Amino acid sequence: MIKQPFITREKAMEIEKEFPTPFHLYDEKGIRENARAMMKAFSWNKGFREYFAVKATPNPFIMNILKEEGCGVDCSSYTELMLSEAVGFKGEDIMFSSNVTPEKDYKKAFELGAYINLDDLTHVEFLNNLTGIPETICCRFNPGGKFELGTHVMDNPGDAKYGMSKDQMIEAFKKLKGMGAKKFGIHSFLASNTVSNDYYPTLAGILFELAIELRDATGVEIEFINLSGGVGIAYNPEQTPNDIAVIGEGVHKKFDEIMVPAGLGDVKIFTELGRFMLGPYGQLITKCIHQKHIYKEYIGCDACAVDLMRPAMYGAYHHIEVLGKENAPKDHVYDVTGSLCENNDKFAIDRNLPEIEVGDYICIFDTGAHGYSMGYNYNGRLKSAELLLREDGSVEMIRRAETPEDYFATLDFSRYHDKIKFDK
Ligand SMILES: *Cc1c(COP(=O)(O)O)cnc(C)c1O
């Protein structure tokens, strides 16, 4: 798959007059088209809803675009709930899938009327004592062991801290029913960033069988099955991207095979995708500000791991192009680095790229999800701006870059007011 920057070098120069690099740039057109393809793929299910995982891109402008496309939101913290409330999500627009949940967070989710997804059996009592049990309630399932597709081990649920065992699910449903719950949801997240059209259908098969078992064991009404996140993206152009239409049809087939004959043909399907909804529709634009020639060739950028942590954290591959040099031969080998005093602050290692000069714009791909949002402030580095490339080609700032004032905002300088001087 050929990966193309959203903007040309000329456009980057124009944008930079108003908004200096580095910045994350989001492509509204791509976001909308993908969201529509998602809705279409699951339109066979009357109650279908995608709950965008807010943690992937917690920006109200982005969330509003997805709201306009019919999405709800998946939150897992107090501030994500606040943000969602501010954008106008309420009640059943919100899925609250948290773990190690503080009281304050549950209270907020309850007040908003969100669907609450319990991560553990002990949270049944915890929530009951705190707010009481809402009419509709969801529990998160963890089957343990390894999760395999064919012969390939996708992930290791047995090592994951999330969810409850099948026996605990049965016990939780019985207790919740006794506490007044009327309708039930089942949730599970078994593998992250899967690049396979089989992940969702396989997971759906497991959860559909579980739904029947739970209904038969407890007599509860199953309202929805939440397939959660995990449908991934092709970070590397050599990978074949997921086809959401094929995935939707795969889940449909399992639904017709398992749910319909069991009398569960009205159950709603929910998803909680973050990466798939936004990942490819964000790019980090950074400028080469230094070059260094020692035992290797280094390109020094004005962005660093503070703006995109995935390469440092997971060794993740992010594709790179140099604006205006997309068709030039990739006959140089570089480490593309940021400025942190951490040797893992490298966007790419031993990457074949065209010859890069100081001042060139470097486009780092697939930063739309788990990009800006994972950022931090190590070395006192400040987080970049977020810009939105509108469908008409205009560019709007949807989050300004951090300033030193932001960085120091949590400190009380009253005793030292002479010592910190902000630029005017
Ligand atoms: C992170 C997360 C998601 C989204 O995962 P993606 O890989 O971005 O699709 C959904 N649900 C829960 C509970 C999560 O923790």
Q: Using one digit for the tens of pLDDT, what is the confidence trace for 352-361?
A: 999 999 999 9
* CB of 50 closer than 6 angstroms to any ligand 1 atom: no
Q: What is the 3-state secondary structure (H, E, C) of the chain?
A: CCCCCCCCHHHHHHHHHHCCCCEEEEEHHHHHHHHHHHHHHCCCCCCCEEEEEHHHCCCHHHHHHHHHCCCEEEECCHHHHHHHHHHCCCHHHEEEECCCCCHHHHHHHHHHCCEEEECCCHHHHHHHHHCCCCCEEEEEECCCCCEEECCEEEECHHHCCCCECHHHHHHHHHHHHHCCCCEEEEECCCCCCECCCCHHHHHHHHHHHHHHHHHHHHCCEEEEEECCCCECCCCCCCCCCCCHHHHHHHHHHHHHHHHHHHCCCCCEEEECCCHHHHHHHEEEEEEEEEEEECCCEEEEECCCCCCCCHHHHHCCCCCEEECCCCCCCCCEEEEEECCCCCCCCEEEEEEEECCCCCCCEEEECCCCCCCHHHCCCHHHCCCCEEEEECCCCCEEEEECCCCHHHHHCCCCCHHHCCCCCCCC
Q: What is the mean pLDDT of residues 251-260?
A: 98
pLDDT score, position 417: 62
What is the tens place of the pLDDT at every residue in 100-113?
999 999 999 999 99
Ligand 1 atom showing the smallest separation from residue 97 Cα: 13
pLDDT at 65: 98
**Ligand 1 site, residue 119, Cβ cutoff 6 A:** no
The verdict on the CB of residue 157 being under 6 Å from ligand 1 is no
Kindly report which listed range (50-54, 119-123, 211-215, 412-416) carries the lowest average pLDDT score: 412-416
Confidence class for position 395, pLDDT limits 50, 70, 90: very high
In whole angstroms, what is the distance from residue 308 CA to residue 232 CA? 18
CA atoms within 13 A on the CB side of 220: 33
| Residue where the block lists tokens 């634009």 | 285
Task: Please report which confidence band the pLDDT of residue 1 belongs to, taking 50, 70 and 90 as the band edges.
Answer: confident
In order of 13, 23, 226, the CA distances from 357 in angstroms are 15, 19, 48
| Residue owning the nearest CA to atom 10 of ligand 1 | 229
| Residue with CA at minimum distance from ligand 1 atom 5 | 229
**What are the tokens at 74?**
């998946």
The response to whether residue 97 sits with its C-beta less than 6 Å from ligand 1 reads: yes
Ligand 1 centroid distance, CA of 52 (Å):
9
Q: What is the pLDDT of residues 259-289, one digit of tens each?
A: 999 999 999 999 999 999 999 999 999 999 9
pLDDT of residue 413: 78
- pLDDT, one tens digit per residue, over 46-55 is 999 999 999 9
pTM summary value: 0.97
Residue 227 near ligand 1, beta carbon < 6 Å: no
* 372 close to 24: Cβ distance less than 8 angstroms: yes
333: β partners: 352
Q: Is 185 in the pocket of ligand 1 (CB under 6 A)?
A: no
pLDDT tens-digit map of 192-233: 999 999 999 999 999 999 999 999 999 999 999 999 999 999
Residue 312 scores a pLDDT above 70: yes
Decide whether any atom of ligand 1 lies within 6 Å of the 274 Cβ: yes
pLDDT tops 80 at residue 419: no
For the chain, the average pLDDT equals 97
Cβ of 74 below 6 Å from ligand 1: yes
CA 178 to ligand 1 center in whole angstroms: 30
Please report the pLDDT score of residue 184 as a whole number.
98
Instruction: Tell whether ligand 1 has an atom less than 6 A from the beta carbon of residue 80.
Output: no
Looking at residue 105, its pLDDT comes to 98
Residue 142's closest CA among 184, 95, 187, 198? 187
The answer to whether the beta carbons of residues 205 and 254 sit under 8 Å apart is: yes
pLDDT of 182-194, one tens digit each? 999 999 999 999 9
Give tens-digit pLDDT for 78-92.
999 999 999 999 999
Task: Categorize the per-residue pLDDT at 152 as very low, low, confident or very high, splitting at 50, 70 and 90.
Answer: confident
Please give the number of the atom of ligand 1 that sits closest to the Cα of 272: 10
Is the pLDDT at 424 greater than 90? The verdict is no
Q: How many Å lie between the centroid of ligand 1 and the Cα of residue 119?
A: 14
